Amino acid sequence: MKLYYTPGACSLSPHIALLEAGLPYDLVKVDLRTKKLENGDDFLKVNPKGQVPVLALDSGEMVTEGPVIVQMIADKAAGKNLAPARDSADRYKLLEWLNFITTELHKSFGPMFSPVLADDAKAFFKDRVMGKFKHVDSQLAGRDYLMGSQFTVADGYLFTMLSWADRMKFDLSAMPNLLAYKARIAARPKVQEALTKEGLLKAA
């Protein structure tokens, strides 16, 4: 398999999932501004949407959209318990979290990265995201992870959003559950490995 990624982008989520799953993969770096691969090839030929992540399967099929990719990775390594069993009640709970993260957090972050959007508009989206983070903080009371005591692919996705919040200097000090959770995920060896491989963390 190949993961098309951009350092620190939402492709960090499936990168963490691949490492946690212990599946073999190759990394292919994408410049999202120029839509070029490191070797100069046109990324739009890989994904006409022009977005990462893309997971290229050994069959040649290309899978896009992060929440789909991470579930596929989890299902390929079922013994790692990165997602509850398909058709179980807990699997739908995981889907609920993945949908919440992708629609309420991920999509609200996007405008804040825009170089042309006015500051008051960015402030609107920041307030929206902070409200969603407050909800997550309340849900994490007494839990190690989103689904309880078991790390799942939803946690890798939420951690990616929290890393964006760091980059944008969000003040999460009023959300102790979320801060403790972020530190717990950051300390996982496979998360550290993903960050190091993407050049986001210096190797010790």
Q: Is the separation of the CB atoms in 83 and 74 below 8 Å?
A: yes
CATH number of 89-188: 1.20.1050.10
Q: Is the separation of the CB atoms in 50 and 44 below 8 Å?
A: yes
The whole-number pLDDT of residue 133 equals 98
The whole-number pLDDT of residue 202 equals 72
Residue 189's contacts (CB-CB under 8 Å, 6 or more residues apart) are none
Helix (H/G/I), strand (E/B), else coil: 27:
strand
To which CATH superfamily is domain 2-80+191-197 assigned?
A: Glutaredoxin (3.40.30.10)
The whole-number pLDDT of residue 78 equals 96
pLDDT by residue, tens only, the chain of 204 residues:
999 999 999 999 999 999 999 999 999 999 999 999 999 999 999 999 999 999 999 999 999 999 999 999 999 999 999 999 999 999 999 999 999 999 999 999 999 999 999 999 999 999 999 999 999 999 999 999 999 999 999 999 999 999 999 999 999 999 999 999 999 999 999 999 999 999 998 755
The domains of the chain are located at 2-80+191-197, 89-188
Q: Is the separation of the CB atoms in 91 and 83 below 8 Å?
A: yes
The whole-number pLDDT of residue 201 equals 85
